[in-house]
Amino acid sequence: MVSAAGAAAWRAPGRRADAWRAGAAAVAGLAGWHVVPAATWLPGVRGALWPALDGRGDPGRVALTFDDGPDPGTTPLFLRALERLSVRATFFVLGERLERAPALGRLIVAEGHELAVHGWGHAPPWVPRPVREVREVARAAALVSDVAGCRPLWYRPPYGVLTGGRWAAARAAGLRPVLWSAWGRDWTADATPASVRAEVARGTRGGATVLLHDSDALCAPGSWRAALGALPGLVADCRARGLVVGRLADHGVGLTAGAARRRTGR
């Protein structure tokens, strides 16, 4: 119970103002912790302040990565295309989708590709929920480890927005956050193989990490066809420049290629 004296003190203008300022500062601090790291989504900001998040690696290589799978309807088509091209890639999978298709996850690994963590679901990042983020990323990492037979190395947050909570979640799970330095904008309804190839070429340099999607579950319906159709051309473009296309584990992002291979067992 609040005493009369205490109530009177609270009603004093100075005390009320101090309390409001303290509350506002706390809210601002929480918002800053959540939002400021999310600026990593902006390529210019990321490149200037957090260049390692771009996935920059060996200048003689390009890392090819896919988000949002595994998708039983489309991922096998990408696996066949990659096999024809003799390319291995990294698949950032969603735990809720891998849980429904663990055999497809095992097939990805059996064909020499790498599984990485994209989260459990694909929730938007705008509302802070750090405890849930830590729990869900840990759950996804454990499932990937079980399916792949080795601990995952990498984490890419949904929408590429790395909030304070997602930073903490990656750290707690022992994952290294990696975004991208080139993308195909393959999620849009008007994407075509030619447009995806051109977008990737525009952002690709030696050491780049390329983002594509092997599912349209979270993109425009049928958009996966643009990414799939672009693969032969964009791989040919890289090889014409003397660049080896492969997995993040072989790319030297924060780890030597040998250390990454020892950790993944490949």
Q: State pLDDT tens for residues 244-254.
A: 999 999 998 86
pLDDT reported for residue 98: 98
The answer to whether residues 258 and 99 touch, using CB atoms and an 8 Å cutoff, is: no
Report residue 16's pLDDT band, with 50, 70 and 90 as the boundaries.
very low
Q: Reply yes or no on whether the pLDDT at 102 is more than 60.
A: yes
Give catalytic residues, as residue numbers: 67, 213
Q: How many residues are listed for the chain in this entry?
A: 266
pLDDT tens, 17-45? 444 343 333 333 434 444 444 556 555 55
Determine which helix (DSSP H) or strand (DSSP E) holds 64, and give its type and residue range.
Answer: strand 61-69
Task: Tell me if the bond preceding 193 is cis, omega within 30° of 0.
Answer: no
pLDDT tens, 48-95? 556 668 888 999 999 999 999 999 999 999 999 999 999 999 999 999
Name the β-bridge partners of 244: 61
Q: Tokens for 225, please give them.
A: 């066809």
- Please identify which residue in the block is written with the tokens 């990485």: 116
Q: Nearest Cα to 109, choosing from 61, 143, 58, 159?
A: 143
Give dist(CA 153, CA 13) in Å, integer.
Answer: 54
pLDDT tens, 117-170? 999 988 776 666 778 899 999 999 999 999 999 999 999 999 888 888 888 999
Q: Give 107-128 as a DSSP string.
A: HHHHTT-EEEEEESS---SSS-
The answer to whether residues 196 and 51 touch, using CB atoms and an 8 Å cutoff, is: no
What domains are there in the chain, each with its CATH number?
48-264 (3.20.20.370)
pTM value? 0.81
What is the Rg, in whole angstroms, of the alpha carbon atoms belonging to the chain?
22
Q: Tokens for 17, please give them.
A: 């103002």
